[in-house]
């Protein structure tokens, strides 16, 4: 399998990192990118730059896409769609779950097979032990190319539904992005009082570790639909959320994130969940 040719379309930071890992694995790597100069370093390292997307696709049975979104994919592949027949496209571009299902239909219509993926680490970690990648789509096709894809990151195949990889990817990003935003907000509260963000950072790590420790139990509450209070309650958590909003307001900050959290707790209290555990937010979030 190591000598199997592979094409990488899209040489942003992620695509370039993946092309590098595939080159290091001994594959014949063909690349294409809208901005051609981004291929220069890879060509120097042994990749072949195709003149057109159609030529890039024709060069390999496996085509890896690493594009900003699926719009970019259609922009590139629509004029080259005639070259897709019998190709396997592993699409590591981010978009919505429904976009993945529609793209699978599109690829099927052009005689290609579509495996959806989402890489869960930044470019510098691609190809390291920290890297993992969600995949979904036809299992037999995924299994055929899994040994080739493995060096990019630990493969996490989630099922045949093409949307599953995007769903897992977006779920992870939802936690990542809101946590990053909350970290920025908390750092700004303290910075307004003269505390350097680096002085606060060790405490931020402690609270992230606390969240990490309680995630499994919280997930059991979600699954059981039971949110027994006792040591903490939604009513108490609602007041805590209000105090974070007040702290942000007193510091003159943009409070969008803590206000959104407070709105969830207000909804829980309005629904009568005062004495439930804070995990009850799951129930109010499920109902728009």
Task: Return residues touching ligand NDP (CB under 6 A).
Answer: 10-15, 33-35, 38, 66-68, 72, 75-76, 93-94, 119, 122-123
Find the shortest distance in angstroms from Cβ 24 to ligand NDP.
18
Q: Which is nearer to ligand NDP, 50 or 72 (CB)?
A: 72
Are 234 and 276 in contact by the 8 Å Cβ rule? The answer is yes
- DSSP letter at 37 equals G
Q: Which is nearer to ligand NDP, 10 or 137 (CB)?
A: 10
Angle at 272 between CA 268 and CA 273, to 5 degrees: 55
Q: Which is nearer to ligand NDP, 152 or 281 (CB)?
A: 152
Q: Which is nearer to ligand NDP, 79 or 109 (CB)?
A: 79
Tell me the three state secondary structure of residue 87.
Answer: coil
Tokens of 16: 């370039």
Are 250 and 208 in contact by the 8 Å Cβ rule? The answer is no
Q: Which is nearer to ligand NDP, 114 or 221 (CB)?
A: 114
Q: Which is nearer to ligand NDP, 67 or 261 (CB)?
A: 67
Find the shortest distance in angstroms from Cβ 262 to ligand NDP.
30
Find the shortest distance in angstroms from Cβ 80 to ligand NDP.
12
- DSSP letter at 35 equals S
Find the shortest distance in angstroms from Cβ 93 to ligand NDP.
4
Find the shortest distance in angstroms from Cβ 100 to ligand NDP.
12
Angle at 148 between CA 83 and CA 63, to 5 degrees: 15
Write out the DSSP string of 153-194. SEEEE--SSTHHHHHHHHHHHHHHHHHHHHHHHHHHHHHTTT
Cα–Cα dist 68/18, whole Å:
15
Helices (H), 25-109: 40-44, 53-58, 70-77, 97-109
Give the relative orientation of helices 163-191 and 197-224 as an angle to the nearest 10 degrees: 140
By beta-carbon distance, which residue lies closest to ligand NDP?
12
Find the shortest distance in angstroms from Cβ 133 to ligand NDP.
9
Cα–Cα dist 220/237, whole Å:
19
Q: Which is nearer to ligand NDP, 116 or 119 (CB)?
A: 119
Find the shortest distance in angstroms from Cβ 84 to ligand NDP.
16
Cα dihedral: 80, 16, 168, 88 (round 10):
40
């Amino acid at each position: 399998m190591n000598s199997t040719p592979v094409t990488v379309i899209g040489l942003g930071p992620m695509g370039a990192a993946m092309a590098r890992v595939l080159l290091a694995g001994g594959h014949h790597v063909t690349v294409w990118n809208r901005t051609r100069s981004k291929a220069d370093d890879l060509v120097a390292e042994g990749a072949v730059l195709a003149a057109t997307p159609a030529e890039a696709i024709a060069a390999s049975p496996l085509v890896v896409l690493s594009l900003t979104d699926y719009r970019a994919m259609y922009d590139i592949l629509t004029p080259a769609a005639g070259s897709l027949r019998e190709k396997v496209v592993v699409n590591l571009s981010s978009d919505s779950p429904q976009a993945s299902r529609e793209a699978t239909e599109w690829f099927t219509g052009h005689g290609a097979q579509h495996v959806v993926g989402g890489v869960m680490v930044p470019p510098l970690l691609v190809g390291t032990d920290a890297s993992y990648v969600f995949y979904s789509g036809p299992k037999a096709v995924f299994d055929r190319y899994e040994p080739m894809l493995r060096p990019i990151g630990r493969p996490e195949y989630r099922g045949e539904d093409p949307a599953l990889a995007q769903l897992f990817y977006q779920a992870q990003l939802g936690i990542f992005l809101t946590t990053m935003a909350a970290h920025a907000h908390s750092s700004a509260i303290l910075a307004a009082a003269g505390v350097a963000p680096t002085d606060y950072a060790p405490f931020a790590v402690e609270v992230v570790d606390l969240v990490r420790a309680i995630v499994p139990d919280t997930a059991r509450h979600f699954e059981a639909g039971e949110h027994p209070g006792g040591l903490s309650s939604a009513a108490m958590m609602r007041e805590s959320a209000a105090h974070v909003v007040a702290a942000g307001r007193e510091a003159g900050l943009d409070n969008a994130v803590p206000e959104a959290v407070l709105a969830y707790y207000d909804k829980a209290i309005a629904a009568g969940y005062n004495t439930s555990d804070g995990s009850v937010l799951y129930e109010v979030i499920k109902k728009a």
